[in-house]
Structure 1
């Protein structure tokens, strides 16, 4: 396919220069017009034209920091659905979004997607070239929408799916701000006491002589460690992180960890609820959008982070492949709650599996929110008690020797 250089005017009258691929010059002129531009010159591109086009695309005005953000993709999906629903062609809609975007990674990605579509690729094929921004769930739903002729409907469903997922993340992060702030401030206070206050008391006690109580000796040792051997903390923390990273690459370690986590009180229950909500929302959205059930289950399995639950979903996939139901292997897994299994069973019998899955997702999204709030309600007093105990220990350890100073002074006299 030949390359053509073009000059064109945008809606503001500004001249745009670029290079595009097309079979003929007439088709290149038509493609420029589909971008919402008015071509003033179209000719075969030379190497200098391609170099100029790359320079203008990535100049100083296009400088940015950072990659693709999920919030940007969510907003772009909603806007694209609105534009297509209003009757604009896909390529024109993409170019409208490109012109609206400030310099960022998403703008470059949209340019590449628009260029691929101009070259004859489908929207799904163009998205698949950017897996960091558009996962398999996104690409397969778009592919199903293109095949079924309901791309705007699928994009709206994707936007709703991403908005709900983003909303849950925001709630969890917002709820964690207070306990994290308390931990950081308290850690700073304890460090200050150990580095600045404890050494002063240590010098005073040393001048008076005598044997210090065991808690005070321990506190002095901790203070000396923080002053003279603080770097060992960095070594220990770095080593611990490296061990976790290395062990996480082992399938056996991950399997054991995932099984143990599910048995931890409160935490295991929360992970199951999150996984059920994600399983139901993802599978329901994919089935509603026309993605084949086996392919939908494979994609859904990848969105779940726990291997135990992934294995349960894999058994569902194998069961359907052999002509059986979804509910039976879910019940055998003993991971999914009985209510979820029964609701899915009813959905299969009535032919409304997708609608039932979405109801399950709504129920468990609310369950997750309630569970997170309950955990944080327990976490806050627990943090206060633990930190109060640490600071209380420091204060008591510093004051214990003072009670015996009188004896030391009188004996010295």
Structure 2
């Protein structure tokens, strides 16, 4: 059997795209016509033998997945059968591989698979959070409502990540441009000027001597600096790939000034929002903790949550183990304790997520407002020192001539 990617028109003249499995290209064409589709393009996608066919599809953006999930929830709410809803959603995906993925999911459902099982065949696109919530929705008969929750959750996460990346873009761009300008000055401009100053045969001021020494050092040992930087980066990369190194980096990340508390608040908000979403959809607490543990992407937090999960398995609530691990901010276990006493744990976790998301946005705004003038001041000071070191001997020479 092989996978064939196709473009076709249905009986109403609408364009359809997707992937179909067949023994040959002719068999795939006949199979499409049997489904009422008239192919205009049919090409081999990838050989499929067991699980290899599942790796054909690439990961899609969270925004695209959120939009498609919302479309699917809307169609199910309107009363469309699941296979027809999946076919319509697949036809509306004009970019990337998501349309082909939904087509494949629809084919698996028509062959008797449950939706969550068909989604689990594409783990790079549908994470355990997604598939577990879909499974709960299928079991409870509230699939449309669960999909709508998933769409809102995915949209919020994508929007939050987009804001975070956008806030870092300007300072990073300023740093790269400023570093490039300084490198150009120190390697091309300053050496030519310093040679001219040396030819003047006069006593040079201290700033000029410092600048010349640094310029000579860069010119003579730039290769050594490059080797040291590459070696340090390579060593850090190799160390981070080990379990011990990854744990060390993940732990130290939260100890960095300014950035550390921000990173911890982001992880706390993600943990609270994801856990609350799973609990609200009917996923058991132990399953929810296991899913969230794998989604955080931080080995230090994953180890702490493993301890929490073990104690919950032994009969403890969520708040007590969170207090004992002392990894997350104190507000999280405190609010969890209030939620456990009142029977509204997921609501309290939603509030915790909202609080920390607001704190992250506030701190991010304040940090960017502080970082931008600091970087401008730093770059201006360095450039000003270079200009001063160059102009001082020129002024001295002009005064001597006068």
- How has the CA–CA distance of structure 1 residues 14 and 107 changed in structure 2, closer, same or farther, with 3 Å as cutoff? closer
Query: Paired residue for 1:200, among 168, 172, 192?
Result: 192
Q: Which residue of 1 aligns with 2:265?
A: 273
SS state of the match for residue 55, structure 1? strand
1:191 matched to which residue of 2? 183
User: TM (normalized to structure 1)?
Assistant: 0.80
- DSSP 3-state at the match of 1:133: coil
The residue number in structure 2 matching 1:11 is 12
Superposition TM-score, scaled by structure 2 size: 0.82
Which of 320, 325, 337 aligns to 1:345? It is 337
Moved more, 183-192 or 11-20: 11-20
d(CA) in 2 for partners of 1:206, 1:17: 71
Q: Does 1:112 align with 2:104?
A: yes
**Where do 1:1-400 residues align within 5 Å?**
9-12=10-13, 38=36, 55=43, 67-210=59-202, 212-213=204-205, 215-220=207-212, 222-223=214-215, 235-400=227-392
Q: Residue 286 and residue 143 in structure 1: after superposition, are their counterparts in 2 closer, same or farther (change >3 A)?
A: same
Judge conservation of contact 1:10–1:16 (CA < 8 Å) in 2.
Answer: no
CA contact (8 A) 1:84 1:93 kept: yes
CA shift in 2, pair 1:364/1:39, >3 Å: closer
1 CA distance for matches of 2:192 and 2:17? 70
Which of the pair has more CA radius of gyration? 1
1:176–1:329 CA distance, 2 compared to 1 (3 A): same
Question: Displacement, 1:273?
Answer: 1.2
Question: Any conservation in 1 of the 2:58–2:124 contact (CA below 8 Å)?
Answer: no
- Of 365-374 and 203-212, more deviation after overlay is shown by 203-212
**Number of equivalent positions:** 380
Mapped to 2, the partners of 1:170 and 1:327 lie a distance apart of 31
Could you say what the CA RMSD is over the residues aligned between the two structures, in angstroms? 3.5
Instruction: Give SS of 2:43's match.
Output: helix
2:393 to 383, 391, 401: 401
Of the structure 1 ranges 384-393 and 281-290, higher mean CA displacement relative to structure 2 is found in 384-393
| Matches of 2:115 and 2:312, distance apart in 1 | 30
Shifted more, 141-150 versus 234-243: the winner is: 234-243
Seen in structure 2, the aligned counterparts of structure 1 residues 309 and 67 have a Cα distance that, compared at 3 Å, is: closer
In structure 2, what is the Cα distance between the partners aligned to 1:286 and 1:264? 31
**Deviations 1:157-202 (CA, angstroms, capped at 9, x unpaired):** 1111111111111222222232223223322332332244213312
Answer yes or no: is the 8 Å Cα contact 1:9–1:16 preserved in 2: no
What displacement does 1:316 show?
2.1
284 and 212 in structure 1: CA distance in 2 versus 1, 3 angstrom threshold: same
8 Å contact from structure 1 (residues 208, 408) kept in 2? no
Contact 1:91 1:114 in 2 (8 A): yes
What SS does the aligned partner of 2:374 have?
Answer: helix
Change over 3 Å in CA distance of 1:103–1:178 after alignment to 2 = closer
Distance of 2:180 and 2:71 partners within structure 1: 45
Which runs of 5 or more residues in structure 2 are unaligned? 2-7, 23-29, 47-56
Q: 1:71 to 1:339 in 2, by over 3 A?
A: same
Give me the whole-angstrom Cα distance separating, in 2, the residues matched to 1:155 and 1:77.
6
